[in-house]
Amino acid sequence: MQAFTYQSGKLFAEGVSVDDLALRYGTPLYVYSKNHLRDRYRAIASAMADVKPMICYSVKANSNIAIIKTLVQEGAGFDIVSGGELFRVLRAGAEANRIVFAGVGKTREEIEYALKEQIAFFTCESEPEAARISECAKHLGVKGRIAFRMNPDVDPKTHKYISTGKKENKFGLDLARTLQAYELAAGLPNIEIAGLHMHIGSQILSAEPFGEALEKVKDFCKTLKAKYPTFRHLDIGGGLGINYKPDQKALDPKVYAAALLPTLKELGLQVWLEPGRSIVGNAGILVCRVQYVKDSHFKKFIVVDAAMNDLIRPALYQAHHEILPVTATDKTVTGDLVGPICESGDFLAQDRELPDVKQGDLVVALSAGAYGFSMSSNYNSRPRAAEVMVDGTRATPIRQRETWEDIVRGESL
């Protein structure tokens, strides 16, 4: 579904006017479409239905518990990377046996928490991590289920900061090393070999790198399946790209599925997926209000009340977010849309054709649902934005705007 559309010249989120939301909840404001979330989850589930995958929403993309709960209700599992994310998904009602725990730096405390909650398995990034999981499991008198993260060394053709499956990346182990790691782990007293994991990167717009990566691990999976009777799971990660620009084509889950299903069926393992961005990315916008329009003779700056602390993707990855006015206009200007933070990198759009807006007008950054709020911070002591979920004509606040008191909470003089 198209979640954000103009109706009589005004931008709407599903059936609610964005103008009204900004008046009710203030700005900067994240607005999410519940039906878009559901649609995207269902599109992946239906495309991959032949292998009955466990679709583990990648919580880092957007970790608001209302978003998680919406996906719990759809039957999702969850890909987490910290004790904090485990706490969130359990709070939102997720079942532990649908949770996988990734990340290169799991602490003892996090591992024990996950073992006590009996998550499905850890995606394990190194031999010392397997040893630590075994020690923690022994301490608790249980087994720690693991799937080593294999780095298939394929180029996902995405931004280098979100490419994770090449040999120079910090994630996972290469093929030769993974085989040794399984042998070592199988000898540990409290480890159960559950499966294999890979995740080659994010915002991938073609199915080829996924197919290439799967081809690279196929025979290896067969070997492991024959060797370890408990080896039953293949987690192929997330990474499906979305359209950030009008002329960009999102990776269609059906195209993704067509490239992978024959091999996945042949392997006969329980398939796990970890999509984040493709579910929530285009379900969210960031609404901001113009504070000043500054014409420096050299350049035009539209200064809004949202900044890089609210949406860091443009500064961090040179990411593109479409900027739309809340009241439609055909008039445009060329310039930068910037925030109030004291950094030249604080922009939401740079050297772009922007709507010709004036002080007090509202503009939105599209495609801000993934890695938007979840990467936000209090830099420059700015309270983090409020979040609202829209379902049809109903809007529900799902996170209050932070206050200055919130910012100093926990500090002492």
Ligand X SMILES: Cc1ncc(COP(=O)(O)O)c(C=O)c1O
Residues assigned a catalytic role: 342
The size of the interface with ligand X (CB under 6 A), counted in residues, is 17
Query: Looking at 145, 199, 313, 382, which residue binds ligand X (CB under 6 A)?
Result: 199
Sheet architecture: strand order including 16-17? 4-7, 10-13, 16-17
Answer yes or no whether residue 144 interacts with ligand X by CB under 6 A: no
Answer yes or no whether residue 85 interacts with ligand X by CB under 6 A: no
Answer yes or no whether residue 239 interacts with ligand X by CB under 6 A: yes
Q: Which one-letter amino acid corresponds to residue 90?
A: L
Task: Provide, rounded to whole angstroms, the least separation between the CB of residue 185 and ligand X.
Answer: 19
Contact 243, 277 (CB under 8 A): no
The DSSP secondary-structure symbol of 93 reads: T
Angle between helices 127-140 and 108-117 (to 10 degrees): 50
Q: Which one-letter amino acid corresponds to residue 158?
A: T
Considering the complex, state which of residue 27 and residue 158 has its C-beta at the smaller distance from ligand X: 158
Task: Provide, rounded to whole angstroms, the least separation between the CB of residue 229 and ligand X.
Answer: 26
Pairing assessment for the beta strands 99-101 and 77-80 based on DSSP bridges? parallel
The DSSP secondary-structure symbol of 49 reads: G
Task: Provide, rounded to whole angstroms, the least separation between the CB of residue 364 and ligand X.
Answer: 21
- Spatial distance between the Cα atoms of 407 and 405, rounded to a whole number of angstroms: 5
Query: Looking at 22, 102, 250, 341, which residue binds ligand X (CB under 6 A)?
Result: 102
Task: Provide, rounded to whole angstroms, the least separation between the CB of residue 247 and ligand X.
Answer: 21
Site map (CB under 6 A) of ligand X, residues 367-406, x = contact: ---x------------------------------------
Which span sits near ligand X by CB under 6 A: 125-133, 140-148, 179-187, 276-284? 276-284
Q: Around Cβ 73, how many Cβ atoms within 10 Å? A: 12
Considering the complex, state which of residue 58 and residue 63 has its C-beta at the smaller distance from ligand X: 58
Answer yes or no whether residue 278 interacts with ligand X by CB under 6 A: yes
Query: Looking at 27, 33, 58, 151, which residue binds ligand X (CB under 6 A)?
Result: 58
Answer yes or no whether residue 237 interacts with ligand X by CB under 6 A: yes
Site map (CB under 6 A) of ligand X, residues 154-183, x = contact: ----------x-------------------
- If you search the block for the tokens 């938007």, which residue do you land on? 372
- Spatial distance between the Cα atoms of 39 and 1, rounded to a whole number of angstroms: 7
Considering the complex, state which of residue 151 and residue 164 has its C-beta at the smaller distance from ligand X: 164
Answer yes or no whether residue 151 interacts with ligand X by CB under 6 A: no
Please tell me whether residue 64 adopts helix, strand or coil conformation. Answer: coil
Answer yes or no whether residue 233 interacts with ligand X by CB under 6 A: no
Helices and strands of the chain, counted as H and E runs: 12, 20
Contact 321, 314 (CB under 8 A): yes
Query: Looking at 61, 205, 207, 389, which residue binds ligand X (CB under 6 A)?
Result: 61
Query: Looking at 77, 144, 165, 238, which residue binds ligand X (CB under 6 A)?
Result: 238
Longest CA–CA separation in the chain, Å: 71
Task: Provide, rounded to whole angstroms, the least separation between the CB of residue 108 and ligand X.
Answer: 21
- H or E element that contains 32: strand 29-33
Answer yes or no whether residue 77 interacts with ligand X by CB under 6 A: no
- Spatial distance between the Cα atoms of 276 and 63, rounded to a whole number of angstroms: 10
Q: Where are the alpha helices (DSSP H) in 145-295?
A: 175-186, 208-227, 253-267, 277-280
- Spatial distance between the Cα atoms of 382 and 340, rounded to a whole number of angstroms: 10
Query: Looking at 276, 284, 325, 339, which residue binds ligand X (CB under 6 A)?
Result: 276
Considering the complex, state which of residue 172 and residue 335 has its C-beta at the smaller distance from ligand X: 172
Which residue, 17, 3, 2, is CA-closest to 327?
17
Task: Provide, rounded to whole angstroms, the least separation between the CB of residue 389 and ligand X.
Answer: 19
- Spatial distance between the Cα atoms of 140 and 228, rounded to a whole number of angstroms: 24
Query: Looking at 64, 82, 126, 202, which residue binds ligand X (CB under 6 A)?
Result: 202
Answer yes or no whether residue 277 interacts with ligand X by CB under 6 A: yes
Per CB under 6 A, residues contacting ligand X are 58, 61, 79, 102, 164, 199, 202, 237-240, 274-278, 370
